[in-house]
Amino acid sequence: MKDKNFWKNIGAVIQLAYSYSREFEHTIELEYKWCYYFDQNKSIFDLEMFDFSDLERTSLLNGTILKLTDLYNLSPLMELLLRDDKAFTAMSTFYSSMQTHYCCLICELERYPYRKHPSHEPAIWEQANVISQYEIAIVQACRCVEALLGKPPKKENRSRFLEHKQKWIEQLGINPDEEFQKGETTYIDFYYNLFELRNAAAHSYGTIPFELERKQAVVAQCFASLLLDGYVMKNVIEKEKLFETLSINRNIIERVNETMSTSKSAQTDE
pLDDT value at residue 197: 83
Spatial contact of 77 and 236, defined as CB atoms under 8 Å apart: yes
pLDDT value at residue 120: 67
- Rounded Cα distance, 109 and 64, in Å: 27
pLDDT value at residue 208: 61
Closest CA to 244 of 75, 86, 85: 75
- Give this prediction's pTM: 0.82
pLDDT value at residue 85: 92
The percentage of the chain sitting over the pLDDT mark of 70, rounded to a whole number, equals 82
pLDDT value at residue 267: 56
**Residue 101 carries which DSSP code?**
S
pLDDT value at residue 248: 84
Interacting residues of 138 by C-beta distance below 8 A, sequence separation 6+: 97, 197, 198, 201, 216, 217, 220
pLDDT value at residue 238: 87
Q: Is the dihedral of CA 83, 79, 180, 190 positive or negative?
A: negative
pLDDT value at residue 236: 93
Q: How many residues make up the chain in this entry? A: 270
- Counting as low any pLDDT under 70, the low residues of the chain are 1-6, 111-121, 123-125, 203-212, 258-270
Give the rounded distance of the alpha carbon of 123 from its chain centre: 27
pLDDT value at residue 14: 93
